[in-house]
């Protein structure tokens, strides 16, 4: 009976792990479930020996999990962005910047027609690397807990990566500051109790006008509103809510040519309208902003996903298993154009425009620099002479 229970628990764990991994890499969960059931059967059991939960201390645990609230696990606004995952090689993707289009002659009568050269250049883009810290599961926990801790931990690793990678994607799709090709609009409504000016419909129309002036096609415009700006619109008036709010789903409807979404982890902007760097801690006066983009001018790419696991039976002193994940992913504009933002203005601070966009290192560059630094360190500090080596004549 115990062996049957072990087999069932192990299979359920492998199936769940396959579903989680499939979700991370964008594969149909059903495929992951089948792989989770079939692959371990071929390669051998994945669960540690004796991990079948016999001797559970049921008087201590109910088995009900109270999980962390992760509001940023979904990012529907990424749907439809060109996916270049198939082009990823060694966690790097190469784009081609084709430059400008050829000039068009209208009613030309002069021959020969002038020759114009079109230029292209390679743009290598390294994917970001997302890693979770290793977490432990001891054999004592396996016998003392009335739930599948392995499955719960794997799910938590997957959710943590999804939350962070979508948050970074939102940050990447928001412009650093206002330029002619990346409009950043300040809110213009009445000030709330904190002094923040509320978002109005006119502000969204101002963003639409900026896209129109850039001659961005209407089909494919996306607007992602932060929570503050969604609430501003809902508080505006009942007629707006009746026209643009779906009472069943609780979501805003498309408006003014934008596909409208909401997202809790939108990037922060300073009161001068400059985006706060992703790794920087927002100040007390920095507020989340809404962002927008023209979908065909953006891209996303997904690289490899790998699970690292060590079994408790290989750690005799601690008798604990360790698990963590590594995942590669990127979302970026193809060029610094056709994306914009709306930030909460304080009504007094002058907006900073045309600011130089700070360079951001990605994993491929960090990896190369680390290798070069290690090589330089080895050259500067050579090891002791090996007496077994023959001297050169």
Q: Look at residues 115, 120, 85 and name the one whose alpha carbon lies nearest to residue 102.
A: 115
The stretch 168-183 carries a mean pLDDT of: 97
pLDDT digits (tens, 9 = 90+) for 201-255: 999 999 999 999 999 999 999 999 999 999 999 998 888 888 888 888 888 899 9
Residue 298: predicted pLDDT:
96
Percentage of the chain modeled with pLDDT above 70: 75
Residue 349's Cβ-side half-sphere holds a number of Cα atoms within 13 Å equal to 20
Burial per residue of 300-332, b for 16 or more beta-carbon CB atoms within 10 angstroms, e otherwise: bbbbebebeeebbeeeeeeebbbbbbebbbbbb
119: pLDDT strictly greater than 90 = no
Is there a contact between 288 and 226 (Cβ–Cβ < 8 Å)?
yes
377: pLDDT strictly greater than 90 = no
Residue 52: predicted pLDDT:
44
40: pLDDT strictly greater than 60 = no
pLDDT digits (tens, 9 = 90+) for 285-339: 999 999 999 999 999 999 999 988 888 888 888 888 888 899 999 999 999 999 9
Of residues 160 and 11, the one with the higher pLDDT is 160
The stretch 140-165 carries a mean pLDDT of: 81
Confidence grade of residue 141 (pLDDT, cut at 50, 70, 90):
confident
Residue 100: predicted pLDDT:
64
pTM of the model: 0.76
Residue 116: predicted pLDDT:
74
Is there a contact between 388 and 209 (Cβ–Cβ < 8 Å)?
no
Backbone φ and ψ of 381, nearest 5°: -130, 70
65: pLDDT strictly greater than 80 = no
Residue 309: predicted pLDDT:
86
Of residues 291 and 372, the one with the higher pLDDT is 291
Confidence grade of residue 364 (pLDDT, cut at 50, 70, 90):
confident
Residue 189: predicted pLDDT:
96
Confidence grade of residue 393 (pLDDT, cut at 50, 70, 90):
very low
Residue 366: predicted pLDDT:
78
pLDDT digits (tens, 9 = 90+) for 182-195: 999 999 999 999 99
Residue 59: predicted pLDDT:
44
Of residues 58 and 80, the one with the higher pLDDT is 80
Residue 1: predicted pLDDT:
52
Of residues 359 and 20, the one with the higher pLDDT is 359
Q: What residues are paired with 93 via a beta bridge?
A: 125
Is there a contact between 229 and 372 (Cβ–Cβ < 8 Å)?
no
Confidence grade of residue 152 (pLDDT, cut at 50, 70, 90):
confident
Residue 33: predicted pLDDT:
60
Residue 102: predicted pLDDT:
78
- What value does the mean pLDDT of the chain take? 81
Cβ neighbours of residue 63 under 8 Å, at least 6 residues apart?
Answer: 146, 147
2 burial (CB, 10 Å; 0-12 / 13-18 / 19+) is exposed
Lowest mean pLDDT of 79-83, 108-112, 281-285, 381-385, name the range.
381-385
């Amino acid at each position: 009976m115990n062996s049957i229970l072990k087999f069932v628990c192990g299979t359920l764990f492998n199936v769940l792990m396959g579903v989680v991994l499939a979700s991370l890499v964008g594969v149909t969960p059903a495929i992951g479930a089948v792989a989770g059931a079939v692959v371990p059967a071929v390669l051998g059991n994945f669960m540690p020996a004796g991990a079948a939960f016999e001797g559970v201390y049921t008087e201590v645990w109910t088995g009900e999990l109270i999980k962390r609230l992760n509001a940023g696990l979904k990012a529907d606004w990424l749907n439809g962005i060109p996916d270049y995952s198939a082009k990823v090689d060694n966690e790097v993707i190469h784009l081609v910047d084709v430059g400008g289009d050829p000039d068009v002659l209208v009613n030309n009568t002069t021959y020969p027609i002038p020759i114009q050269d079109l230029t292209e250049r390679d743009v290598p883009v390294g994917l970001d690397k997302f890693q979770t810290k290793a977490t432990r599961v001891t054999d004592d926990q396996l016998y003392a807990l009335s739930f599948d801790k392995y499955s719960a931990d794997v799910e938590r690793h997957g959710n943590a990566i999804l939350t962070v990678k979508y948050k970074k994607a939102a940050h990447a799709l928001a412009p650093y500051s206002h330029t002619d090709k990346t409009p950043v609009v300040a809110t213009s409504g009445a000030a709330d109790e904190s002094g923040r000016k509320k978002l109005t419909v006119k502000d969204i129309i101002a963003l639409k006008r900026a896209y129109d002036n850039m001659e961005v096609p209407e089909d494919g415009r996306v607007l992602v509103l932060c929570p503050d700006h969604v609430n501003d619109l809902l508080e505006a008036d009942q007629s707006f809510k009746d026209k643009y709010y779906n009472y069943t789903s609780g979501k805003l409807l498309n408006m003014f040519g934008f596909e409208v979404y909401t997202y809790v982890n939108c990037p922060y902007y300073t009161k001068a309208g400059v985006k706060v760097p992703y790794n920087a801690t927002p100040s007390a006066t920095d507020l989340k902003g809404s962002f927008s983009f023209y979908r065909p001018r953006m891209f996303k790419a997904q690289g490899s996903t790998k699970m690292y696991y060590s079994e408790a039976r290989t750690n005799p002193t601690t008798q604990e298993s360790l698990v963590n994940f590594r995942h590669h992913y990127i979302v970026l504009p193809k060029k610094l154009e056709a994306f914009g933002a709306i930030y909460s203005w304080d009504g007094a601070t002058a907006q900073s425009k045309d600011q130089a966009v700070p360079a951001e290192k990605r994993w491929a560059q960090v990896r190369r620099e680390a290798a070069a630094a290690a090589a330089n360190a080895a050259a500067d500090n050579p090891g002791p002479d090996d007496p077994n080596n023959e001297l050169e004549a």
